Amino acid sequence: MRKLNFDQAGLTRREFLVSSAVSAVPQRGISLRDSPAMPADAPWYTRIRRVGQINFNERDPLTMDVESWMDYWASLKADAVLLNGGGIVAFYPTELPYHHRSQFLGTRDLFGEAVAAAVKRSIRVVARMDCNFAYEEAFKAHPEWFERDRDGSPRKHAEAPWLYATCMFSPYFTEQMPAIFREINHRYAVSGFFTNGWPSTGPLGVCHCEICRTIFREKLGGEPPEETDATSAHYRQYYEIYMGRIAEVWKLWDLIAKEKQPDAVYVGNLGGGIHTVKSLRRFADFASWFNADHQGRAGDTPIWDCAQQGRVARAVMKGKTVTNVTGAYSNSRPVWRHVSKSAAETTLWLAQTTASGMVPWYHWLGGTPEDNRWRETGRLFYRWIASNEPHFRNRQPLADLAVVYPQSTISFYRSSGPRAWRGGDRTQSADYLQGLYYALLEGRFLFDFVHQEDLPTAALSKYRALLAPNAAYLRDSECEAIRRYVAAGGSLWATFETSRYNEWGDAREDLALGDVFGASLTGDTIGPAGNSYMRIEAPHPVTRHFEGTSLLPGSENRVSLRRLHPSRPELSVVPAYPAYPPEMVYPRTSRTEEPAAILSEKGGSRVAYFPGDVDRTFWRSGNTDLGLLIRDSIAWVMGEGGRTVEVEGDGVVEIFLWQTESGFALHLLNYTNPNMTRGLIRRHYPIGPLSVILDFPGAQSISDVQALRNPMRLPIRREGGRVHFVVPKVGDCEVVALT
């Protein structure tokens, strides 16, 4: 049986396709880099698969039974636990000034006891710290450690106003926290440190303390802007200074963590899902462990929010350790810290964590719970992973498509000008990606995220197409990477203002990728306006499912442009007309030459460009035609030939395929649920049978197919290089081990 490996042979996928045509090998497949097994001396945290956290409260020293807690984590086969060391509250008899001992500590050393109980059970301990607040005693002795408002008043915690917010530019971060880390490291058998709440991936804070004012005066020549206005030169400098300080502190704390044990580690608090402002790409330069604090969802956040977090983190960490915290408590809005979340929601969150390549980190608050329902939920899931562990040891994901993670757009889009978004509206900047994501789920495509800053160096040739959901803010180098990819025969799908601005939002005279799209701007962006349409002008594979209509719903916004190569568009714009009152509802201009899509083909390369925000309009409206149009246009740019994985059968399913240490693993996440886009999930609605076809170079070597969740061996049928099998039923999720 022949196992193909392009990269071993030094071939790109495209070269492989050319050479395989000659050698009569099936003309499809994706790159399987022969990634070596993890070296035996790899740091301990690269091998962990299950993490637990019990978050102590100040009163816990009175009542907490550490032995029974560690029995619980041992029963989950946890590799590591997070235990509160100090920061706001020291849970050990600290000798350091201004490090507040728990008022209930008495003669106990709660942290020390818990560390010993964990280590006795061969569980690693990461000291969970909080660097963000301190008591008044510290404020009085070191007023320079603390954040100030513009009027100079200190900032206090909203719910615990006796705590003062510390400033990350102050010596609290470079002197006091290091002293605490060193005291803990010296006394206890800890393998690392984690800081709650810092640095986060969200918006930058602004502090007016003396130290910050000096920094800003000297480096910015003024005060930092309060608002995220990325078009301001001032804000851009501030962003650099801020990210620079995070890097400086992170590296310092990591060095301190390693003072006793070289493979110890500092891990910061990241996360944010697809909504990020601080540069994730930059974090990956100095972080050896990405912990996503993405514990659950609220409101109308879709259930796949956790899998998206995994894709984002994986894109920048590229195989380095990524963990994700799952709140076992009810972290909805409003929040309940001391009752369990529904078991069904928690389990699907954990399943997304592992499916997207992250390591689960299960979290409860308070040492003497009155609600213990969450315990069995975590235990069942963790023990299931443990009993199938080789199939959860991933080497690399397999994917047909690359989705650009457009972080600059998500961070800064429309941060100034008359169309600016303020406050909560800013979350809309991810709606383009969200709409594309939903369509990818409906189409069951296999895809990776590629961070925009990685475009110039990413091995894009292994993907059959690159998708850019309104990547409006792109660097010249990133546009050039996309241009090169298409020129080399790659295919592209893009929407709306992709490449119109640089990474900070400075408008270009024309779309930087206009030559690739075959379009040139003629005016300003039009919209938002409902009741506009797309007219089907000529038959095309992209519109093949729309028999019975010549009109499709139009996008809410669009750029005005002309085609560089005039020809009749396959889809044209019908401009908006009144939707009310009914007497007025008729098109004023029923036919235009303005393209609603530009579909071009050159050699093996296909480009589909939508001047409208079809992705965002799809997400906001849920319109089924738009979803179908996005799916069919992606299928068209992918070109002929089978997909790596095809899954047939009813249901909304997200799929991941990993090359693992023991073969391959196909993850199927069942989102088919009335609570898919408004939580929380009450129960699972089983789907199946699902018919699966695998078609990639490694598939020929598969001889055994086992379902792990609903355990059974699945009979396989071969056809050429393809492998068929049927998964009879999927409850919450299924993992199919392919060896």
Torsion angle of alpha carbons 427, 432, 434, 437, nearest 10°?
-160
250 vs 349, beta carbon nearer Zn ion: 250
Beta bridge partners of 726: 691
Check binding of 209 to Zn ion (CB under 5 A). yes
Number of residues counted as binding Zn ion (CB under 5 A): 5
CA-based angle 693:698:699, to the nearest 5? 25
Cα–Cα distance between 370 and 347 in angstroms, integer? 21
249 vs 264, beta carbon nearer Zn ion: 249
212 vs 401, beta carbon nearer Zn ion: 212
Please confirm whether the linkage preceding 199 is cis (ω < 30° from 0).
yes
Shortest Å distance, C-beta 211 to Zn ion: 5
Among 207, 256, 267, 723, binds Zn ion (CB under 5 A): 207
Cα–Cα distance between 317 and 311 in angstroms, integer? 10
Q: Are residues 559 and 496 in contact, defined by beta-carbon separation less than 8 angstroms?
A: yes
**Measuring CA to CA, how many Å separate 162 from each of 144, 156, 388, 731?**
17, 7, 48, 48
Shortest Å distance, C-beta 255 to Zn ion: 23
Site string for Zn ion, 410-449 (x = CB under 5 A): ----------------------------------------
Region from 209-217, 435-443, 457-465, 564-572 binding Zn ion, contact rule CB under 5 A: 209-217
Q: Are residues 92 and 86 in contact, defined by beta-carbon separation less than 8 angstroms?
A: yes
Region from 199-207, 329-337, 462-470, 557-565 binding Zn ion, contact rule CB under 5 A: 199-207
Site string for Zn ion, 582-601 (x = CB under 5 A): --------------------
Strands 289-292 and 336-340, sheet pairing: unpaired
Shortest Å distance, C-beta 242 to Zn ion: 11
Region from 19-27, 84-92, 208-216, 294-302 binding Zn ion, contact rule CB under 5 A: 208-216
Shortest Å distance, C-beta 208 to Zn ion: 7
Q: Strands, E, within 632-697: which ranges?
A: 645-648, 653-660, 664-670, 690-694
148 vs 451, beta carbon nearer Zn ion: 148
81 vs 209, beta carbon nearer Zn ion: 209
Site string for Zn ion, 610-639 (x = CB under 5 A): ------------------------------
**Measuring CA to CA, how many Å separate 239 from each of 212, 277, 278, 325?**
14, 10, 8, 27
Neighbours of 496 (CB within 10 A): 27
In the range 164-193, which residues lie near Zn ion by CB under 5 A? 167, 169
Shortest Å distance, C-beta 503 to Zn ion: 27
Region from 70-78, 192-200, 211-219, 395-403 binding Zn ion, contact rule CB under 5 A: 211-219
Among 30, 129, 212, 455, binds Zn ion (CB under 5 A): 212
174 vs 388, beta carbon nearer Zn ion: 174
Region from 107-115, 161-169, 514-522, 639-647 binding Zn ion, contact rule CB under 5 A: 161-169
106 vs 152, beta carbon nearer Zn ion: 152
Shortest Å distance, C-beta 121 to Zn ion: 42
Site string for Zn ion, 114-153 (x = CB under 5 A): ----------------------------------------
* Exposed e or buried b per residue across 114-128, where buried means at least 16 C-beta atoms within 10 angstroms of its C-beta: bbbbbbeeebbbbbb
- Secondary structure of 556-600 in the HEC alphabet? CCEEEEEECCCCCCCEEEECCCCCCCHHHCCCCCCCCCCEEEEEE
The owner of tokens 């160096």 is 457
207 vs 344, beta carbon nearer Zn ion: 207
Shortest Å distance, C-beta 254 to Zn ion: 23
Q: Strands, E, within 318-366: which ranges?
A: 321-327, 329-330, 336-340, 359-365
Q: Are residues 228 and 277 in contact, defined by beta-carbon separation less than 8 angstroms?
A: yes
Site string for Zn ion, 6-45 (x = CB under 5 A): ----------------------------------------
DSSP 675: T
208 vs 311, beta carbon nearer Zn ion: 208
Shortest Å distance, C-beta 321 to Zn ion: 31
What does the DSSP assignment read for 149-205? -TTSPBPB-SS-TTEEEBPTTSHIIIIIHHHHHHHHHHHS---EEEEEEEE-SSPPP
Handedness of CA 32, 37, 39, 43 (dihedral sign): positive
Give the footprint of Zn ion on this chain (CB under 5 A): 167, 169, 207, 209, 212
